[in-house]
Structure 1
Amino acid sequence: MTTKAQYVVAVWLANFNHDKDLEDYLMIRYDEDGRRQSNFGNAVGLAHFDIDFLEHTSFNHEMNPEEIVDGVSFSDYFKDDLTTMINHDTLYDNNTIIFLYGKQDVYGTINEHIFSLANTPHKQVPFSFIGTIKFEIGDQ
C-alpha cells in the first residue's frame, strides 16, 4: 500500500550580514519559566515550531532563483512553484532564504500551523514572507 505524506513549506527572505547573526536569530531559547523563545518565531508570529524542520541558505545577487533553491530539502517538489514567486526584484535587498516545513502523514502532524499560514506575501522586519507551497510525497 502506498501512503502519501502532505507537506507544506513556508518561505521567508531576509538579510543578515553574518551567519552567526542568523543562527542567533533562529535559535530557540528557554526563559526562566521554561517557555520557548525565538526571535524568528516572534518576528513571524509563530509561537511554536519544530526547529528540526527549519532550513536556510545564503545567496548572492548573481544567482538566479533556480540556483538558490537547488539542493534545498524537497526542492524538486516545489522549485518550479517557488521560482515563480521570487525574482531578482524580491531577492535584491536580501541574502538569505528561510524554509520552514510542515508535514502531515499517518503518524501525525509536525508544524501543523504552517498548513494554515496565509499565502499572502507581507513584510515582517527583518523577514519578508514569500508564501507557502503545498506538495505530496508518496511512500512515506
Structure 2
Amino acid sequence: MMTKAQYVVAVWLANFNHEKELRNYLEVRYDEDGNSQSGFGHAVGLQHFDSDFLEHTSFTNGMRPEEIINGFSFSEYFKNDLSTMISHDTLYDHNTIIFLYGKQDRYGAINEHVFTLANSPWRQLPFSFIGTVKFEIENQ
C-alpha cells in the first residue's frame, strides 16, 4: 500500500567565522535531567528537535542558490521553490545555510513543530529565517 509522507524543510542563512563555531551553536546538549538544549534551538524557539534531521553547509560568495541547495536530502523535491526564496543579495551577507526537516507519515511525526514555523511571528535571530517549503514523498 502506497501512502504519502508529508515533509517540511525550514531554512536559515547564517554567518559563522569557522566550522567549530557553527557546530557548537548547533550541538544539542543534555542537562542532568535529560532535557535537550542548543543555541540554535533556543534562538528559533524549539525546545526539542531531532538533530538527525538537521543539515548545514558553508558556501562562498558568488555561488548560486541552486549550487548551494543541490546535494541536500530531498533537495530534488524543494530546490525549485527554495531557489526562488533566496536571492543573490540575501546570500551576500551569509556564509552558511541550515536545513531542519519535519516529517509526518503513518508511522508518526518527527520534528512536527517545524510545520508551524511558517506561521510563527518573526523574531530577531542571529541569522535569517528564509522560510519553509512543504513537499510530499510516496511511502512504500
- Kindly state the Cα deviation for residue 37 of structure 1 after the two structures are TM-superposed: 1.4
How far apart, CA to CA, are the structure 1 residues paired with 2:83 and 2:136? Answer: 18
State the Cα RMSD in Å.
1.5
Moved over 6 A (4+): none
TM-score with structure 1 length normalisation?
0.94
Distance 1:121 1:127 in 2: 15
Listed one character per residue, the Cα deviations across residues 13-47 of structure 1 (whole Å, up to 9, x for unaligned) are 00011111100100011123332111000011111
So what's the TM-score if we normalise by structure 2? 0.94
**Contact 1:4–1:138 (CA<8 Å) still a contact in 2?**
yes
5+ residue gaps, structure 1: none
Q: Percent identity?
A: 74
- What is the CA distance between 1:124 and its match in structure 2? 3.5
Task: For 2:127, give the aligned amino acid.
Answer: F
1:21 is aligned to 21
Gaps of 5+ in 2: none
Aligned to 1:74: 74
Deviations 1:70-105, CA, capped at 9 Å, x for gaps: 101100000000000001111111000000000011
Structure 2 letter corresponding to 1:89? D
Query: In the aligned structure 1, how far is the partner of 2:35 from the partner of 2:3?
Result: 36
Give the paired residue count: 140
Partner-residue secondary structure (3-state), 2:73: coil
